[in-house]
A and B are shown apart, each in its own frame.
Chain A
Amino acid sequence: SQTIHQWPATLVQPVGSPLSLECTVEGTSNPNLYWYRQAAGRGLQLLFYSVGIGQISSEVPQNLSASRPQDRQFILSSKKLLLSDSGFYLCAWRDRGLDTGELFFGEGSRLTVL
C-alpha cells in the first residue's frame, strides 16, 4: 500500500533562519507531488507541484522553493524565513495520469516563525 510521510511535524524558527521540510512517498512510482500551505481560517494554497524529477511548477511568488531530487522525494525550502511563512504545510501525492484522482496527504508540518 502507498504511504506518505513528511517531517518534521512541528518546528519553531526565528525570522531569517533557513527551512527544510521533507516529504517521501512509498508504494507508488512517478507520482505527482504537491506542497500546500494552510493558514488559519483559509483554504489550502498550492505552493508547488511536480510531475517528475527536477520538474517544479511554482504557483505563488514567495521566498520558498521546492526540489524533487528523487522520484518519491519532495523538499520545501527557504533561505530566510519571514513571519508570514508561519502556517500548516501539507505534502500530497496523486497518481500520475489520474487527473481526477484524489489527493493523499502527509501528516502535515506546523511552522511557527517568531
Chain B
Amino acid sequence: GQNIDQPTEMTATEGAIVQINCTYQTSGFNGLFWYQQHAGEAPTFLSYNVLDGLEEKGRFSSFLSRSKGYSYLLLKELQMKDSASYLCAVLDSNYQLIWGAGTKLIIKP
C-alpha cells in the first residue's frame, strides 16, 4: 500500500528553527509537495521537490532524499503566524497525490 508518515504535532518557540519530517512509501515517485494549512482554511503551496537536495525559499527550505523515501521542511526564524498544519504529499506513478495526515505546528512566544 501507499503510505505517508509525518508527526501529528510539534511545538516550537518563536524565533527558533523547526524541522518537520516526512517519510513515504508509494508506488512510484514524481515529486513531493509541502503545503501549509491554517485552521479552517484551504492548503496553500509551499514547495515542490523532485530531485535530491535542498530547496530554499526565504525562511522555508525543503529537503528530499529519494533513496531514503524522506523529506523534511525546515522553518527558520519562526513567527506566530507559522502556527498551522503542514501537509506532505507525494505524486505517485499515476501522477495522483498521496497525502499525509499533516503535522500541526504550535508556536509559543
List residues of chain A with CB within 8 A of the CB of B31.
Answer: 100
A7 within 8 A of B: no
Q: Are B91 and A110 in contact (CB under 8 A)?
A: no
Report the contact-size class of chain B (Cβ under 8 Å from the partner): 20 to 34
Total interface residues on A, using CB and 8 Å?
A: 17
Which segment, of A14-22, A63-71, A77-85, A101-109, faces chain B?
A: A101-109
Interface string of B11-32 (1 = CB under 8 A from A): 0000000000000000000110
**Which chain B residue has the least Cβ–Cβ distance from A88?**
B40
Q: Are B87 and A43 in contact (CB under 8 A)?
A: yes
Q: Are B30 and A105 in contact (CB under 8 A)?
A: no
Beyond the given pairs A100-B48, A100-B50, A102-B45, 13 more chain A to chain B contacts, judged by CB atoms under 8 angstroms and listed by A's residue number, are A41-B8, A41-B101, A43-B102, A44-B87, A44-B89, A45-B99, A46-B97, A90-B42, A90-B43, A99-B30, A100-B91, A106-B42, A108-B40
23 intermolecular pairs with C-beta atoms under 8 Å apart? A41-B8, A43-B87, A43-B99, A43-B100, A43-B101, A44-B43, A44-B87, A44-B97, A44-B99, A45-B99, A46-B96, A99-B91, A99-B95, A102-B45, A103-B43, A103-B97, A104-B45, A105-B43, A105-B44, A107-B42, A108-B41, A108-B42, A110-B40
